[in-house]
Amino acid sequence: MSNEKILHSEIDIKDVPRTVKREWVSWIRFILIIVILYGAIHYTIGIKIVSGDSMNPTIQDRDIVVVSKLFFTPERGDIIVVKDPEGFDIVKRVIGLPNDHVRIKDGIVYINQQVLDEPYIIGQSMDIDEVVVGTDSYFIMGDNRTPGESLDSRDPSIGTISKEQIVGEKLF
């Protein structure tokens, strides 16, 4: 009987390296899947928490915004996330596209001498002289047009933004 115990012990010892190898392979697969999922989510979708009232009434302070970081071309009216000059993410609406002429007179936004229909805004903007949006640049504004509520392209410290500054487009 003691011989049988020794044989079973020897068999178990021989199987241990295979089991350990399988466990390592399983852990490596798991880690690779986690890394791939993290990369896919991090570089394609972002989650941002809005700070401030510049996008009222459309988006409120502390709302959560899901952002697509891939496969979008900004269009007029889109809500986008942009890196400001200090490196902070800000949420704004695309008003002017490349080569557009943007002007605000009596609180009304004109794009290429046409009134821009903006049913989503509150407040009235201060007037600005005509701005010509450069190639690969965009004119952005917050929906809250009350003076002092939105730091956007109307302010010389921001101005028009380049396509490279755009982090992504709001999905929901």
Return the active site residues: 54, 92
Report whether 67 contacts 145 (CB < 8 A).
no
What residues contact 92, with CB distance under 8 A and at least 6 apart?
Answer: 54, 55, 79, 80, 82, 140, 141, 142, 150, 152, 153
Q: Are strands 114-115 and 166-170 parallel, antiparallel or unpaired?
A: unpaired
Q: Are strands 101-105 and 89-96 parallel, antiparallel or unpaired?
A: unpaired
